[in-house]
Amino acid sequence: MQYGRHFKPGQKIFLHALPPTGDPQGCFDSLTTYLKEIGPGWFDLSLPYQSKAGEDFPFATGMRFELRSESLGLGLRLTGQFVQHRGRDTIRLALDGDLRAYQNRQSPRLDTVAGVRYTRGHGSLRSFRDQWEKNIQILQGNSADQLGNFPRTPINLSNGGIRFSLRAPVEPGSLCLLLLELEPGTVPLCALTEVLWTGDVQEERQKAGMRFLTILETDRKRIDNFIRKRLAAPPAV
pLDDT at 224 over 90: yes
Predicted model pTM: 0.86
Q: Which long-range contacts (CB under 8 A, 24 or more apart) does 130-133 make?
A: 131/177, 132/177, 132/190, 132/191, 132/192, 132/214
Q: What is the CATH number of domain 12-102?
A: 2.30.110.70
Q: What are phi and psi of 196, to 5 degrees?
A: -95, -40
pLDDT in tens, 168-199: 999 888 899 999 999 988 889 999 999 999 99
User: What is the Cα Rg of the chain in Å?
Assistant: 19
Please report the pLDDT score of residue 230 as a whole number. Answer: 92
pLDDT at 57 over 90: no
Percentage of the chain modeled with pLDDT above 90: 60
Burial 12-30, CB ≥16 within 10 A → b, else e: ebbbbbeeeeeeeeebbbb
What CATH number does domain 110-232 carry, 1.20.1250.20, 2.40.10.220, 3.30.420.40, 3.10.20.30?
2.40.10.220
Question: 21: pLDDT confidence band, cut at 50, 70 and 90?
Answer: low
d(CA 166, CA 205): 5
d(CA 180, CA 114): 7
d(CA 35, CA 47): 9
Name 64's Cβ contacts closer than 8 Å, sequence gap at least 6.
Answer: 17, 18, 79, 80, 81, 82
Q: What would the mean pLDDT of 153-166 be, rounded to a whole number?
A: 95
The residue ranges of every structural domain in the chain are 12-102, 110-232
Please report the pLDDT score of residue 89 as a whole number. Answer: 86
pLDDT in tens, 70-90: 887 789 999 999 999 998 789
Please report the pLDDT score of residue 142 as a whole number. Answer: 61
User: In the beta sheet, which residues pair with residue 100?
Assistant: 77
Q: Give the C-alpha distances (Å, rounded to integers) separating 157 from 71, 109, 111, 137, 163.
A: 26, 5, 7, 24, 7
Question: 61: pLDDT confidence band, cut at 50, 70 and 90?
Answer: very high
pLDDT at 105 over 80: no
d(CA 92, CA 130): 24
Q: Give the C-alpha distances (Å, rounded to integers) separating 13 from 27, 38, 79, 94, 174.
A: 20, 13, 12, 15, 18
Pairing of β 161-167 and β 205-216: antiparallel
Cβ pair 65, 16 in contact under 8 A: yes
Q: Is the dihedral of CA 185, 145, 165, 157 positive or negative?
A: negative
Q: What are phi and psi of 75, to 5 degrees?
A: -80, 140
